[in-house]
Structure 1
């Protein structure tokens, strides 16, 4: 009888193992019934197998019933039901069971830690690991691998280092499983030198080790080294699989598309050349038909701007999915070819593929990048249920194209439809409010930000500071800054820019010093605002100090900071130092050239400004509308009439730039100062900005200098038509008559001014007393004389 029971026991164990391996729930239930009939529940090993069987079949409730029905539970029984809960993702039940376990072993701890990591509870996993060490358990390779994975997600390199030390102590640092997790952790935390040391410590690195190193190097833009890592992998005979190929293609894609050069990898490597070599290797290894790798190849070519090759791969693919279409749409969007992107989206639908959210976002981004906001609006209107990301793309598109009213209307519609804005939505719409200076709507967005983002969101707070500063509510901007629990450099920069905008330059300089005292490193924007402040100070001492600090911090070669330095020295009138620094700059953009040309213009060096403009053209630097304002101003101030006319005529003919009001004002000022009124009258017949008073004021000033009465009358008449209550045309015309000795006509203009009840606004002077601006009123001498004669004191208010 005993021999029969022993035979049944062994047979049942074998059958249970087969059911567990095959996940045969029905057969397992029959075996469970057989065990009950034979009265074998006292056989704990059999009961443990039953719990494992139900766990393998995903029947957690049955597993728990089998566990509860086991009369003699051991640690393996508890681990079996714990594993069932962890496998099913029932973490609360797993933790309650874990806490109730009378005995634990490393397997128990590993079960809980790994399941927490798998379910995104990395912080809790680290806490459980700490408890494990505190209770005296020695971690296994599975424990350490799970904890390193948790540290990778948390970017907690300190906990990772402590685990590394323990791994060395117990001799597991060279284990391939632990070593790979360790170098992944260092790579994701951007401690690449530590990752390299961990890689070198591995006696036999495998494809996982090499792939992790490639990702880590590419993450910190060390793309050439990442590609060399793949080459080393090939030389050492490590098997190249689809995952390895996908990883190296991702590295080749990380160089990105640069319109000026395809040599984006640096160090003599061309990302697209390396990608082509990997493409050839992929075909050689027989992965040419793999749809995922084909998509990775398309992505690589698209990211590097080679859409012809991407088209070729796309055309030869035997199988295409939605991801493939999305990559092609995104690729053309990256090249600012919205028409082709939209055509691909239409082809996609004709081929029976349903666009998803990514498709629509890629199409929207393509339109926005190309400046085709109208097309983006049509695509957006075709979306049934756009997510907040799609709304954000549209808001960004309206902002980038200067359609701020449309952005506000879209945000209002977004709220009306109940779409919850995120920090990107709020920051974008606050930027539009700042440009339009619409305080009331900005306040409404502020209220919405408190509801959806709270007070602590630095990204939104920076937008609020800018909005209130632009609307002249600088105290509210300061309040936002002071309420933030934690400040970052973006908020400091926004506050500095706001203070400069509101002419609070001394406060901006104080804020900059506070930022330095708090050991917060200034950025290009910080120095740009500070240099703008220094340009307004009478002494150049502070500006030179800031310049020295810029050189120390390594920003002297930054084009934005360099342009601000040129502007500052020009404001001081120190043209020689401005030009000296300008010549030293390794890279200049149109802003830099404009600042130097404008500096020459403002300081009376008209000839030098024109020469610099010609140098700019000779070097192939594209002039913009601001360039022409600067050089035409120089021609006006320097009396360079012929040069001014030539440059003005070249705007449209050679550069394709339509002259704006400022350009017409500059050329009329240039001609008027030189007394070329015949040319002015010819130009006035063609000008499209006849209803702007600035144009006529400039002309009237020139007429006063040259005593051109007939044209002065016309200019004064146009000014009075545009603004009947403006005293300037009356006074300028009267002064012209006085300068010619035509007193009767001057008196007639004065009488007309009195009859129309137009009074001249009193003049003021600004004086600086201890860094505070004081105003001094200029009184009309005739009024003062009358009051003295009638013994009336002069009012001071």
Structure 2
């Protein structure tokens, strides 16, 4: 039972790391799992794969997957989903091809990913294979396939898919229907789109808006307005997207009569646009910047700049788009002086003009995160400078659109534009983030060709890239080839070695750095302390602590928090507390590390005292704080205090308890055999589909012989995973220990009927 509780606790910690994308914490847990002999536990390894994937370290996730002895369907699906979410579709496809068994979810995951990432042809090919293998498509399948047909303007294929959807009775599903009408709109078949729209039993705002947008794009503005009237009559919620779509229609049909609720007024210019403006005010959208910008655009395109000026002057906030619409509007209406006036006002407000108004605005868009608009400006430039290339590349990289950055870099090479060190550093960063070794090697070759062999700036990027891709020898070779490495290069190497679980080697390089006379900084110390933690080397940690104090980093909050974690995980919680008390500044991470350190080392009272001290000092606990505090209560039998802390989460701090918090409380109450309170807790909890909660409850019931609640826990576990033998076996053993042989036979009969087999035991010896 201790092993099961330990496993459940590890699962709780892993889930917390997954929720917070705490990669470093996950690596520590991974090391602990290996150390305690649970490296073959498929459930734990699946959670680790999910953690690495969601933390953006899919290469590590794949490495772990490849080492698994018995990967299950969930293992394959976790990695497949991760590849798809990160856009690594070649890897996803390769993994999918090697899956020992596939289900509809597998097929849908790959098809949807291809469709979303503009690989429509591949999506349709996989869909054909799905049909050939006899799998029945679902509404998700058809929505993705029809979307791919729309992207390719494959009308005939779309019609065939439409017929299949009818065959399976899914054509009236709102997702399939929306994809259908979008397909027909994109293929310039508005009549077919309208038929698909009318076949929907319950069209939603997406259906109406997509239909209206399609009509506007096909220049059927009258029909778009009629659709908007239908939205009103249907009582569908009108949102900012809907209003912006109808305003686009107003902008496209200058001077068109548009009767609002049957009224007409053809004597007034731009009647329809002004009526929509009034309607936006009636609905309370006058403060919505997106709608206001659409109104400005409508007025500008209709030549009514005076109305645009009045609206612009009344805006509570403006954006670059707002200024650009006004300046562009004056330019379109041949009013150069007013355009110049607004450009100067824009500069006076600290906003840089863009290229449309004769000034380069690319860098401003990139800094604001609007990379796509930045790319549009970039593409409009007759001869973009190297600074412009670097700006757009940096924008893609900073916004984690690394594949787009790499594609644009290739275009740059095709144009024979020589990159500089900034260009190469940006691309190396993108290669590193997505583990794209092939492109990284090409960039390395380009750096040599451009005579940057000893550039420290590029070398640091190369070291980081090779280590992220698992090419340790290449990284070390580059480092050793440097005539003089700076602190960034040293940190890149030490961090990368630790990332690859080479903590001894990382520590060796740290000592070598000291011997070379290089002064470490806070990042050097924090990384090396983490190495000591993973190596459980308290003696080296102490030596490092002395050096930290000597070099004046003892008060650094990042280094200090890492020190607390190191001492706690190495078992010296008293020393952790001494350092904690000496820190002049503490953030929430510092408090959490110390509270968790006490909880880990069985010092429940001290953990709770510290939790209360944090609150008294003005600290606001987060979800991690509560997990640490509740864990301490559970391990130290502080049941009433645990209940008080648990209840305060929502009542005082507005935090909804997560599955980890419920698990801690059930464990806490279960140890004290307070099952009536557990009953109340599980009846109101929202996370009833979390198996760990029920596993902890079942273990507690087995310990205290609570048959009724144990049966409920087992039934919930069976519901969640009917083929998992553990709840059957635990419940049967419990009945056997109580002498309830008939109940034991009933459980065994149920296992036989459902073809559930008990996992065989094995020895590590």
Please give the TM-score of this superposition, normalised by the length of structure 1: 0.45
Q: Bigger radius of gyration, 1 or 2? A: 1
